[in-house]
Amino acid sequence: MLGALAMGAVASAQTWIWYPGDYEIWLGNKMNNNRTERGAFFPPFWKSDSHYVTVEFSKQIDLAEPEEIEIYAEGKYNVKFDGKLRFGMPSRFTLPAGKHNLNIKVWNQATPPAIYVKGKTVNTDSTWRVTYEDKEWIDESGKASDTSATIYADAGYWNFNDPATPPSEFSLNLEPMGYVSVEDKTADGGRLYDFGKETFGRIVLKNTVGNGVVNIYYGESPEEALDMEYCETLDKIRFSDGEVTDLATNAVSAKSGDYTLDNTKAFRYVYVAPEAGVTVGDVGMLYEYAPVEYRGSFRCSDSELNKIWDIGAYTMHLTTREFFIDGIKRDRWVWSGDAVQSYLMNYYLFFDSPAVKRTTRLLRGKDPVTAHINTILDYTFYWFIGIYDYYLYTGDKAFVKEIYPRMQSMMDYVLSRTNKDGMVEGLTGDWVFVDWADFPMSKQGALSFEQILLCKSLETMKLCAEVVGDNKDGEKYGRLEASLRAKLLPTFWDEKRQALVHNVENGRQSDQINKFANMFAINLGFFDQAMTDSVMKHVMLNPEVPAITTPYMRFYELESLCAQGMQETVLKEMKDYWGGMLREGATSFWEKYNPEDKGTQHLAMYGRPYGKSLCHAWGASPIYLIGKYYLGVKPVKEGYREFSITPVLGGLKWMEGTVPTPNGEISLFVDRDKVKVRATEGEGYLYLKSKSVPKSSYGKFEKTGDHSYRLWIDTKDEINIKYKQI
Amino acid sequence: MLGALAMGAVASAQTWIWYPGDYEIWLGNKMNNNRTERGAFFPPFWKSDSHYVTVEFSKQIDLAEPEEIEIYAEGKYNVKFDGKLRFGMPSRFTLPAGKHNLNIKVWNQATPPAIYVKGKTVNTDSTWRVTYEDKEWIDESGKASDTSATIYADAGYWNFNDPATPPSEFSLNLEPMGYVSVEDKTADGGRLYDFGKETFGRIVLKNTVGNGVVNIYYGESPEEALDMEYCETLDKIRFSDGEVTDLATNAVSAKSGDYTLDNTKAFRYVYVAPEAGVTVGDVGMLYEYAPVEYRGSFRCSDSELNKIWDIGAYTMHLTTREFFIDGIKRDRWVWSGDAVQSYLMNYYLFFDSPAVKRTTRLLRGKDPVTAHINTILDYTFYWFIGIYDYYLYTGDKAFVKEIYPRMQSMMDYVLSRTNKDGMVEGLTGDWVFVDWADFPMSKQGALSFEQILLCKSLETMKLCAEVVGDNKDGEKYGRLEASLRAKLLPTFWDEKRQALVHNVENGRQSDQINKFANMFAINLGFFDQAMTDSVMKHVMLNPEVPAITTPYMRFYELESLCAQGMQETVLKEMKDYWGGMLREGATSFWEKYNPEDKGTQHLAMYGRPYGKSLCHAWGASPIYLIGKYYLGVKPVKEGYREFSITPVLGGLKWMEGTVPTPNGEISLFVDRDKVKVRATEGEGYLYLKSKSVPKSSYGKFEKTGDHSYRLWIDTKDEINIKYKQI
C-alpha cells in the first residue's frame, strides 16, 4: 500500500489506531526475538523499548444528527463523553448531534493500547489525537485542569481496517510448499530435503509415528544442513503419546502424527534425523511471506542481468517482512545500515512506504537515547539519511512531523558526544562499524567516513526542521552542518594522494586510504567535479586501494561509478560480482562475497563454518542501481512532484521497466534508437544523449550541451521518441 | 520484613530477581489502574512507565565442585555459559567447578523479566548483575566485543523466595468477613449492609437466584451507599444461566449461585439492589490487606488519644498495600505528597522499608522525565525529601545507590525549569498544589513554599551524592542549595509582619501570608531561634492567619508546634481535631476535616456529595507525632546508628510504647516520676527535663541546662530511671 494513498484512505475508512511508533516497537520486539542460534533464543544486545501502556485517544466531533458508534479496544478502557465517564466499558454508544468531545483511554501492558471506532461518520483514523499523559487533574471544586499542557500526537495506524483483526493478532501470510528432492542419508531414517531455493517458513513433520526425538538441521547449503555440530539453526521435537519432560535434550514436546513447528527458519536444505523409535512419514513447509506488490519491473537484452534482477527482487522479498531485516537465517533483526539500503531498493521495487516508516520507527525506539542505533555509530547516521531519502521519494510530510521529535533527541545524543572540533569519534559503548573488511582498518580517532555521514545527518535535520516549520533549530542544524563541512577537507584531504584519508588520530592524518569516505563524498556531493574526477582516478579506480568485498559497500561504490556515467563498467561489475554468486549456485544474494574464495569458504564468516548469511538484503543492490542509473528514474522534488529520467543502456541492446512513484509509476522502453516513456505522476525532464536532436511525439527536446538534450514531460500519456545513441 | 534484614537474608537464600524498579512500575500500573469512578475505569493522568522487556542477568561464579542448578524464568530465556549459548531453555544445568560466567537473558512484554536460580551455592540474589543493553556484539572474526561499555545494576528483588510463586502472581492477603447489620430498604429486595467499620475488599453475592442485574452501591457512609445517582463507586452484575451480552447496562455477566466480584472496593456500607427477577440470598466480603507487622505501639492515660492512635494505625494499615496509597475509596493511587507522610508514619508503626522503596521507585518511574511526579511541582520535592528521610531512618546505602541516577535525572528536569534567580515557578503542565485550602491562595510566580522544598531537595541530592561518592555533582548540588538558601529571606521575608510571604510575582512580594512556607521553614531549620519564636507568634499561633483544614498540612503544622516544645497544645489539638472526626463516627481518618462543617457537609468534596475520602493515609499523622514528639524517639545518625529519645508527656499522666528501628526497637514507659527505656539497636542520648538530677540504673545523667539532663545509652538492657517532672 502506498504511504500517501493509505493516509488519504484512512480519512474516510475506520481503522485500528494507537500511539504512533508504539505498535512498531512491540511488533519489532516480537520479530527481533525470533532469532535463534543453534536452538537458543538470541535477543538483540541493544535496548528493546516498549509501548506506552496507558494511552488516551480523543476526537472532537460535530454531528448533524445523532449517531451510534461501536467501540473495540485492545486493553481495559473507559469512555469519556464531554468530560464525563460512562459506566463500564461500553461497546456501543449513541452520540448526540452537535459539537462534543469523545475520549477513550486504554491500558494494556502486554500489547499496545489500540482502539477501533465505527460509526456512520465518526471513525478512528489518523485525525484522532493521542497522548500518554493527559494531565487532566481537577481542583478542589471539581473544576478540570487546563489541558493545554498535554502533548498530543496524531494517531498511528497501518492497515488494520477490520474490528475482528486487531493489531496484536498480526501475522504474515503462510502458504504450503514442498521440497523438490529428497535423499536418504542414513539407514535409520535421516533424510536431506531440498526445497529448490532459499526459502523461509515453518517445517511440517507429517505422519510421525513412535516415541523419540526428531532432530531438524537447517542449511542454506547442503553442507550446513548435514553438519549437525555446526549448522547455525536446528530444532528438536520429542514425539510421544503422553506428556514428557525432556530434561536431557530440552526438546519441545509434541504428539505423534502431523506437527507444524511454532518457529520459522530460513533454509534451502533441511536434514531431518529421527532417533531410533520414531519415524517421520513426510516433510513439508509453510512458506511465510509479506504480501507485497511487485510494482517495479525490469527486463533487458542481457539474460544474466535479468536473472540478477530477479534474484535481487526475491532477496528483497524474503527480507521485507514485518520490517526490513538484514537476512533471514541468522540475525533476522532490523539493522539501520542494512535498512537504509532496503529502503532505496524498495523505492524501485515495492514502493512500500509503510514498511519504511515501520522500520524507521522501530530502529529509533524511544527516549531516552542510551546508545547509538543498533549501538553502531554509523547506523545512527544512516537512520537520519533514511528519513532524508524517504521524504525525497514519498513527500510524506506527516511522517516527518511524527518522527521529528525523536530525530531531535537522537541528534542531541550525537551532539553531546562530539569532540572539541565538533566531530564524532568512537566512545565507550560505540561500535564503529563501517564495513566487514579483509584489510586492516583503524576505528580510532575521527574517521572521515563518520564525519561525512554526520554532515549529511545534520543536513537531514535542517531539511526536516524546514518541513515542520522549526526555524530556530533548523538554523542551528544548518550552522553545525556548515561548520563541519568546512572542516572536512582541511582535516582529511591528502593533497598528494588526492584522497580523503581514513582517519585522524591525535591531530595527525593516518596513512590509511580506502574507498569508504571517498565514495560517500562523491555520492553525497562533498567534492567539486575536478576533485571527483581526481578521486575517481586515484581511489575508486585505483587497483592499489583495497577492494570492497561486501555487497553492502559495493552498493555505494557502484553508485559512485554510475553517478559518474560509468554504467558500462558497472554493468560488467554486476555481471562479475552478482553473476559470480549465481555461478556459485546462489538462489538469493549473500551477506559477503569474495570472488577469491573457493568452495565452502563461501559459507564461512565470523569464525564459524556457516556463519555467513546467503540471503541478505544488502545483496540486492542491482535493484536500486538498475532503477536509478539505467532506467535512470529518480525524484528531483519530494514525492516525485518533479522527477528526472536519464536512461543509460550501459552496453545493453535494450531495456524496459517500471519505476513506482507514490501514486503512480514511470515506465520506459529504451533501445539504441527509440524511447517510449510514460509517467502517470509528477512532471520532469527526460535527459537523452543523442547524435542528433531526438524527435518526440509530445513536446520538444531542448539542447543542453554537446549531444545532450532534454524534454519536459507533463503528460500522463505515453511519449514515443526517436533518437540516435552515441 | 526489615530492609536491612531482607538484604542480609537475600545473600544466603535464593529469590526471584529482576531489573531494579521494574517490578514496582509493573505492579504499580496494576494497582493504580484499579481505580473506578461510578463503574468506569479511571487510570492515572500522568505517564505510566513500563518494564524493560529484555533483561540480561549475570553472575561470575567460582565453584569448588560441580553443582547442578535449577532455572526458573518469567519469559522466554536463554542460558549462556562462558559466552556460549545452550540449546533451548534449559531448566536444569550442571555447572563445572572453577571460575565461570553464567548469563541468563529473558524477554517478556507482559510482565517483568525475572529469574530464579536454585543451586547448592549458586542462587539468584541481589549480588547478580542486570542490564537492559548488554552490547555484546561480535566482530567479523567472531570475537566478542569489549563489554566494559555495558551499564550494570544490582538485581532488584523483594520476598519471592519460592520458585512456585513468581513475582507476576503477587496478590495481597484475602480473608472472609461478614457484615454486622442489615436493613431492608425496599420491598423488592434492596438491602443496606453495614460492615461495622471502614473496610476494603471484594463483595461476595451468595445464593443468587433468577435472571437479572444486581446493582451494588458502595458507601463510606450510609448516605453514599443509598444514593444510587451520586455514590462514588458501584458495580452491576447480570446473573443468568447462560451467556448474555448486556449492551443496555454494560453489566458484568455471571452465573446464578455464589459470585465473588473481581474488583476490590472501599466501603463500610453496601447497598445491594437486585432488579425484579433476581434475588440475592446473602452478602459477604473478602477483606484484602497487606500482611504487615505492627512493630510500633502506644498506650497512655488518655483513652481518646489511644483511640486516635488505633484508628490512625488502622487507617495506615488500610492504605499500606502494594504501595502506600492516598486513600482506599477514590484514587487508590500513589501520590508523592501523601506517600512522604506515610513513610514517616510507617517508621513509627510498621517500619516496612520495602514498602517505602517500592513506593519511591514507582513514583519516579523511568526516564525521560516528561512531567513532575504526579504532575505536581511540590510532589517532585517530596519525592526527594522522602529519600532523605528513608536514609536517615534506615541507613540503607544500597537503595540510595540504586535510586541515585534517577534522582539525578529528576533533578536535571527541575533545574532545567528554574527562573533566572534559580527559583521554580509553575510552568505550563505543572500543577502547583500546596494544599486544598478554603482561602484564596495564589499559584502564580515564585512561591516561598516551593523554594523551601527545592532547597531541601538539593540538600538531599548533596547528601546522596556523598553516600554514593559522587563528589563532583555533590559539590554542584551543595552550591545550588547554598545559593538558593541565601536568597530565601531577602526574597520572601516580610520584616514588618515577621513572616515569609506566600509568593513573589514580577519581583514584588504579595500580601498573602499563610502557614505553609513558614511551618516548613521552621521544621526544616531555615530560621534561627529568634526568628522561629517570632514566626510562631506572628503566624503559627496567630488566629488571623487562615486555618489549615486538611490533616495533610496539619501534619506539618503540628510538627512545627511539637518541635517548639508545645506538646500540651498539640495534645489538645489532636483531641479536638482527630477526636472531632471520631465524634462524627469516623472509623478511619479523613482526607479533609473542617470542624465548622455539619452533617453531610463532611462527606462532600470536589463539587461531589461523596467526593471526600473517609480513609486517607494523611489523616493518620498522630502516629508520627506521638512516636517522634511524645515517646520522642528519632534517628540522629542514619539507620538509628545514633538515636535520641526525648519523652514528653504533654499533659498525659503516663504513656508507654515501642518505636521500631531497622533491626530492633526502642521501648519506653514514662510517667511523671519514672522512665523505663530499652533500646535493642544503636546508641544515643535520652533527654529528660526534671526538677532534680534523674537517677538511672545504668550510666549517669549529665546536666545540659536548667533542669535539663541527658543520659548516654549504649546497652541493650532495660534502664530504670527516677526523675521529677517539671
- State yes or no: pLDDT of A645 exceeds 90: yes
- Helix (H/G/I), strand (E/B), else coil: A624: helix
pLDDT at B7: 34
**pLDDT (tens digit per residue) in A361-420:** 999 999 999 999 999 999 999 999 999 999 999 999 999 999 999 999 999 999 999 999
pLDDT at residue B352 is higher than 90: yes
Nearest Cα neighbor of B462 from B448, B472, B453, B451 is: B472
Residue B143 DSSP class: P
pLDDT at B317 over 60: yes
Are A236 and B41 within 8 A, CB to CB? no
- Over residues B354-363, mean pLDDT: 98
- Among A135-144, A187-196, A405-414, B541-550, the minimum mean pLDDT is found in A135-144
For residue A508, pLDDT beyond 90 = yes
The residues in A 594-613 lying below 8 A from B, measured between CB atoms, are: 605-608, 611
Interface test with A, best of B237, B245, B250 (most A CBs within 10 A): B250
Q: Within 13 Å, how many C-alpha atoms sit on residue A465's CB side?
A: 18
DSSP state of A626: I
A607–B141 CB contact, under 8 Å: yes
- Kind plus residue range of the DSSP H or E element containing A184: strand A181-184
The predicted-structure confidence for B185-204, as pLDDT tens digits, reads as follows: 887 789 999 999 999 999 99
Q: How far is B85 from chain A (nearest CA, A)?
A: 6
pLDDT reported for residue A136: 84
pLDDT at A9 over 90: no
Q: What is the pLDDT of residue A228?
A: 95
Mean pLDDT, range A662-667, rounded to an integer: 98
Residue indicated by cell numbers 495506615? B316
How far, in Å, CA of A18 to CA of A125, rounded?
Answer: 10
A244: confidence class by pLDDT, cuts 50, 70, 90? low
Query: Which residues of chain B neighbour A107 with C-beta distances below 8 Å?
Result: 29, 33, 41, 43, 48
A180 at B interface, C-beta within 8 A: no
A48 and B CB contact within 8 Å: yes
Task: Please report, rounded to a whole number, the percentage of residues in chain A having pLDDT higher than 70.
Answer: 98
**Interchain proximity B105–A140, CB inside 8 Å:** no
Question: Cis (ω within 30 of 0) for the bond into A595?
Answer: no
pLDDT band, very low/low/confident/very high, at B244 (cuts 50, 70, 90)? low
Measuring CA to CA, which residue among A230, A315, A318, A215 is closest to residue A270?
A: A215
Helices and strands per DSSP (H, E), number in chain A: 15, 37
Residues 342-381 of B with CB under 8 A from A: 367-368, 370-371, 375
Q: Are A308 and A623 in contact (CB under 8 A)?
A: no
B77 vs A41, A138, A141: nearest CB: A41
Best of A135, A168, A413 to disrupt the B interface by mutation (most B CBs within 10 Å)?
A135
Q: Tell me: pLDDT of B322 over 90.
A: yes
CB contact under 8 Å between A29 and B53, yes or no, is yes
List residues bridging with B98 in a β-sheet. Answer: B63
Half-sphere exposure of B238 (CA within 13 A, CB side): 15
- Would you say residue B367 has pLDDT above 60? yes
Amino acid B186: pLDDT: 81
**Cell numbers that stand for A72 in this block:** 473495540
Exposed e or buried b per residue across A294-314, where buried means at least 16 C-beta atoms within 10 angstroms of its C-beta: ebbbbebebeebeebbebbbb
B411-465 confidence digits (pLDDT tens): 999 999 999 999 999 998 899 999 998 898 999 999 999 999 999 999 999 999 9
Say what the pLDDT of residue B3 is.
35
What is the bridge-based pairing of β-strands A173-177 and B265-274? unpaired
The type of residue at B641 is: R
pLDDT computed for residue A147 by the predictor? 66
Cβ distance A405 to A387 under 8 Å?
no
Average pLDDT, chain B: 95
Residue of A nearest to B106 (CA): A43
**A40: closest CA of chain B, how far (Å):** 5
**HSE, side-chain direction, 13 A CA sphere, residue B506:** 0
pLDDT tens track for A63-98:
999 999 999 999 999 999 999 999 999 999 999 999
pLDDT in tens, B520-557: 999 999 999 999 999 999 999 999 999 998 999 999 99
Q: What is B64-124 written as a DSSP string?
A: SS-EEEEEEEESEEEEEETTEEPSS--SEEEEPSEEEEEEEEEE-SSS--EEEEE-SS---
- Alpha carbon distance A711, A701 (integer Å): 4
Q: Do B87 and A54 lie within an 8 Å CB cutoff?
A: no
3-state secondary structure of A136: coil
- CB-based contact, A289 to chain B, within 8 Å: no
Residue B644, classed as helix, strand or coil, is strand
Which stretch of DSSP H or E encloses residue A389? helix A377-394
**Which carries the bigger pLDDT value, residue A248 or residue B164?**
B164
* Contact yes or no for B41 and A370 at CB 8 A: no
Closest residue in B to A109 (Cα–Cα)? B110
Tell whether B153 is within 8 A of chain A (Cβ): no
Q: In this complex, is the C-beta atom of B228 within 8 Å of any C-beta atom belonging to chain A?
A: no
Site from B35, B42, B51, B135 to mutate, A interface, most A CB atoms within 10 angstroms? B135
pLDDT of residue A243: 66
At B396, the amino acid letter reads D
Helix or strand holding residue A402 (H, E): helix A397-415
Quick one: pLDDT band at residue A146, thresholds 50, 70, 90? low
pLDDT band at B10 (very low <50, low <70, confident <90, very high): very low
Using pLDDT thresholds of 50, 70 and 90, give the confidence band for residue B148.
Answer: confident
Q: So what's the pLDDT on residue A629?
A: 98
Q: Which of these, A57, A19, A23, A53, lies nearest to A134 by C-alpha position?
A: A57
Confidence of residue B82 (pLDDT cuts 50, 70, 90): very high
**Amino acid identity at B471:** N
Q: Pick the more confident residue, B10 or A194.
A: A194
Nearest CB among B53, B88, B141 relative to A48 is that of: B53
Task: Kindly give the pairing relationship between strand B499-500 and strand B493-494.
Answer: antiparallel
Q: Are A57 and A18 in contact (CB under 8 A)?
A: no
Q: What pLDDT score was predicted for residue A91?
A: 94
Reported as a single tens digit per residue, the pLDDT across A434-466 is 999 889 899 999 999 999 999 999 999 999 999
Asked whether the beta carbons of residue B611 and residue A105 sit closer than 8 angstroms, the reply is no
Rounded mean pLDDT, B209-226:
96
pLDDT at residue B247, as a whole number:
72
Closest residue in B to A47 (Cα) is B133
Give me chain A's average pLDDT, please. 95
Contact A538, A514 (CB under 8 A): no
DSSP A260-309: E-SS-EEEEEEEEEEPTTEE--EEEEEEEE-------EEEES-HHHHHHH
pLDDT score of B1 more than 60: no
Element (H, E) at B462: helix B448-468
Compare all CA atoms of chain B with the CA of A371 and give the residue at the minimum distance: B133
Q: Is B468 left (phi over 0), alpha (psi -120 to 50) or beta?
A: alpha
Would an 8 Å CB–CB cutoff place B142 in contact with chain A?
Answer: yes
Cα atoms in the Cβ-side hemisphere of radius 13 Å centred on A122? 29
On the 0-12 / 13-18 / 19+ scale of CB atoms within 10 A, B582 is middle
How far, CA to CA in Å, does B11 sit from each of A2, B354, B547? 58, 16, 51
Cα A269 versus chain centre, distance:
27
Query: Do A429 and B135 count as a contact with CB atoms less than 8 A apart?
Result: yes
Q: Which residue of B has its CA nearest to A147?
A: B429
pLDDT for the residue numbered A7: 34
B76 and chain A: CB distance < 8 Å anywhere? Answer: yes
Give the other-Cβ count within 10 Å of B688's Cβ: 27
CB-CB neighbors (< 8 A) of A216 in chain B: none
A77 closest CB neighbour out of B41, B140, B437: B41
